[in-house]
């Protein structure tokens, strides 16, 4: 990794999309960073005399805050990416079977490749919602990559059809306590450990209450999968969670498709937050048109983050593509072009997403006093031109492929389109593909390609 310069200056940016309190978009902008904190964001002429240990030329570049991915199962999936046809049945059962076959070394290399892909497209913070099996092994990948992660152990204490290991309730509680105690605050605070009971359907009320209590007592957070109330009778899942007393501002509900009006109101009233994964929904036929409630959640004041799920769910981790989806599917579904404008989509991946993930005071904006997580897009590319509004072009015209530079905590981890923390990306890919071949062989899971490969 490039050594952290004590001070860093990015000067003459064509635009800085700050997502600050005033939502300033500054042309010919300069950003100054000291000891990992943003110390100035102004027109270049105002900061011309400010010295720095390293100066980055921002001409023909657009700066944004680093993106936050609120739901990315990073473990294992890169090893067997694309293994499933779109109409696969029992996908999760196969996912967890393959994941349980993975070794610590294999999880390290798949995680490092996942982080490389993620950082190269501008995401600087992720929530891995409980799939990591060998957190100590993967910490080395997080340390190398320099990004931020919310991690934890997902636990269940009820029989399930998806091959999730079932714990005794007391053992599941112990596992959550241990993972929070051993992981929270590691790597200079870039690692946060959350409690991660898998879902209401496979966790007892006692386990969910314990997960919430641990999050409260340790000032961390809790996340769980939330399936919505489609096709269910009786009290909605959100009502059941509220009645158990496990909703609150430190609780992040992921997916949340098919919420009723009452469920939206309960989430808003309790201060719980939401992560939505539109690319997983569209690929799996989840029905955003019928079941997506993002506009209502935002209208109710709920903080929502975006997620990509695993690379065998939506099959990519590029949040710019997810922003574009968020900014278009509701317009199409409801015939209303006012829904989820590109500015809102950017907020979901930055400022609002940071609030949803409990880091709204430190991340999510290029703003004085926040940690210096910054992305620079190279706009000297046809898809970025003509460039009159960098927000519209970012969301509707570009992708994460045009990321040039990524800074986390003031450290440059992607430099001129290259990940500085991986010496030989191809050697890493070969390690991951070897792991994939072994996992496929060990589990016997394979699916024929639709077209013959000869």
Q: Count of residues binding Zn ion (CB under 5 A)? A: 1
Cβ-based nearer residue to Zn ion, 229 or 310: 310
Q: How many CB atoms lie within 10 A of CB 380?
A: 13
- Residue of 293, 144, 275 whose CA lies nearest to 221: 275
What's the CA gap between 106 and 76, in Å, rounded? 8
Cβ-based nearer residue to Zn ion, 215 or 366: 215
Cβ-based nearer residue to Zn ion, 129 or 292: 129
Closest distance of CB 225 from Zn ion, Å: 5
Cβ-based nearer residue to Zn ion, 129 or 286: 129
Closest distance of CB 221 from Zn ion, Å: 15
Closest distance of CB 41 from Zn ion, Å: 35
Cβ-based nearer residue to Zn ion, 79 or 413: 79
What's the CA gap between 62 and 155, in Å, rounded? 41
Task: Look up residue 20 and give its two tokens.
Answer: 């600050």
Question: By three-state DSSP, how is residue 158 classified?
Answer: coil
If you search the block for the tokens 């071949």, which residue do you land on? 437
- Which residues are registered as beta bridge partners of 48? none
Beta strands in 241-323 (DSSP E): 251-255, 273-276, 304-306
If you search the block for the tokens 């209208």, which residue do you land on? 299
Site for Zn ion in 238-297 (CB under 5 A): none
Closest distance of CB 386 from Zn ion, Å: 39
Q: CB under 5 A: which stretch of 62-70, 127-135, 227-235, 404-412 binds Zn ion?
A: 127-135
What's the CA gap between 65 and 404, in Å, rounded? 14
- What mask of x and - would describe binding to Zn ion in positions 70 to 109, judged by CB under 5 A? ----------------------------------------
Closest chain position to Zn ion (CB):
129
- The distance of Cα 269 from the centroid of its chain, to the nearest Å, equals 25
Closest distance of CB 88 from Zn ion, Å: 16
Cβ-based nearer residue to Zn ion, 307 or 358: 307
Cβ-based nearer residue to Zn ion, 129 or 410: 129
- What mask of x and - would describe binding to Zn ion in positions 305 to 324, judged by CB under 5 A? --------------------
Cβ-based nearer residue to Zn ion, 64 or 138: 138
Residue 381 DSSP symbol: S
CA angle, corner 122, sides to 121 and 127, nearest 5? 100
Closest distance of CB 249 from Zn ion, Å: 21
183 by Cβ neighbours in 10 Å (0-12 / 13-18 / 19+) ranks as buried
Q: CB under 5 A: which stretch of 96-104, 121-129, 406-414, 429-437 binds Zn ion?
A: 121-129
Cβ-based nearer residue to Zn ion, 129 or 278: 129
Site for Zn ion in 410-449 (CB under 5 A): none
What's the CA gap between 51 and 300, in Å, rounded? 45
Cβ-based nearer residue to Zn ion, 30 or 75: 75
What's the CA gap between 274 and 281, in Å, rounded? 15
Q: CB under 5 A: which stretch of 123-131, 148-156, 258-266, 382-390 binds Zn ion?
A: 123-131
What's the CA gap between 273 and 356, in Å, rounded? 5
Q: CB under 5 A: which stretch of 77-85, 124-132, 180-188, 394-402 binds Zn ion?
A: 124-132
Closest distance of CB 131 from Zn ion, Å: 8
Closest distance of CB 445 from Zn ion, Å: 19
- Residue of 306, 295, 324, 294 whose CA lies nearest to 401: 324
Peptide bond just before 386 cis, omega within 30 deg: yes
Closest distance of CB 73 from Zn ion, Å: 6
Closest distance of CB 256 from Zn ion, Å: 12
Cβ-based nearer residue to Zn ion, 123 or 399: 123
Beta strands in 18-60 (DSSP E): 25-34, 37-43, 54-57
- Residue of 304, 300, 302 whose CA lies nearest to 275: 304
Residue 373 region by backbone torsions, left for phi larger than 0, else alpha for psi between -120 and 50, else beta: beta
Q: CB under 5 A: which stretch of 53-61, 126-134, 135-143, 154-162 binds Zn ion?
A: 126-134
Site for Zn ion in 128-157 (CB under 5 A): 129
Within 13 Å and on the Cβ side, how many CA atoms surround 268?
A: 17
- What mask of x and - would describe binding to Zn ion in positions 349 to 378, judged by CB under 5 A? ------------------------------
What's the CA gap between 349 and 398, in Å, rounded? 15
Closest distance of CB 162 from Zn ion, Å: 11
Binding site for Zn ion (CB under 5 A): 129
């Amino acid at each position: 990794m490039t050594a952290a310069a004590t001070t860093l200056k990015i000067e003459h940016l064509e635009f800085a999309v700050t997502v600050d309190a005033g939502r300033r978009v500054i042309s010919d902008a300069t950003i100054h960073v000291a000891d990992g904190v943003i110390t100035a964001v102004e027109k270049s002429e105002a900061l011309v005399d400010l010295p720095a240990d390293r100066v980055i030329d921002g001409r023909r570049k657009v700066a944004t805050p680093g993106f936050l991915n609120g739901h990315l199962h990073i473990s294992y999936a890169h090893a067997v990416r694309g293994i499933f046809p779109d109409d696969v049945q029992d996908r999760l059962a196969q996912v967890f079977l393959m994941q349980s076959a993975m070794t610590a070394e294999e999880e390290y290399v798949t995680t490092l490749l996942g982080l490389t892909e993620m950082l190269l497209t501008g995401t600087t913070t992720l929530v891995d919602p409980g799939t990591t099996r060998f957190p100590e092994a993967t910490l080395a990948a997080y340390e190398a990559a320099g990004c931020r992660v919310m991690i934890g152990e997902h636990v269940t204490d009820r029989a399930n059809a998806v091959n999730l290991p079932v714990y005794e309730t007391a053992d599941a509680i112990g596992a959550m306590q241990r993972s929070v105690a051993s992981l929270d605050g590691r790597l200079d605070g870039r690692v946060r450990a959350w409690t991660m009971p898998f879902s209401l359907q496979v966790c007892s009320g006692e386990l969910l209450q314990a997960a919430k209590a641990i999050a409260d007592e340790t000032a961390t957070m809790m996340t769980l999968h939330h399936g919505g109330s489609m096709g269910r009778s009786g009290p909605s899942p959100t009502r059941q969670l509220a009645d158990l007393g496990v909703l609150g501002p430190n609780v992040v509900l992921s997916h949340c498709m098919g919420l009723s009006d009452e469920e939206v109101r309960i989430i808003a009233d309790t201060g719980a937050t939401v992560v939505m994964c539109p690319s997983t929904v569209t690929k799996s036929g989840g029905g955003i048109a019928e079941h997506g409630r993002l506009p209502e959640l935002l209208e109710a004041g709920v903080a929502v983050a975006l997620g990509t799920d695993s690379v065998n769910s939506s099959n990519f981790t590029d949040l710019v593509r997810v922003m574009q989806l968020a900014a278009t599917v509701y317009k199409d579904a409801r015939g209303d072009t006012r829904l989820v404008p590109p500015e809102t989509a950017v907020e979901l991946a930055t400022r609002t997403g940071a609030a949803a993930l409990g880091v709204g005071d430190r991340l999510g904006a290029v703003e004085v006093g926040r940690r210096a997580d910054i992305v620079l897009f190279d706009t000297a590319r046809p898809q970025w031109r003509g460039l009159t509004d960098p927000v519209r072009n970012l969301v509707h015209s570009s992708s994460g492929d045009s990321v040039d530079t990524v800074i986390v905590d003031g450290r440059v981890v992607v430099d001129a389109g290259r990940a500085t923390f991986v010496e030989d990306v191809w050697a890493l890919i070969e390690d991951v593909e070897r792991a994939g071949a072994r996992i496929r062989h060990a589990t016997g899971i394979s699916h024929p390609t639709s077209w013959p490969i000869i």
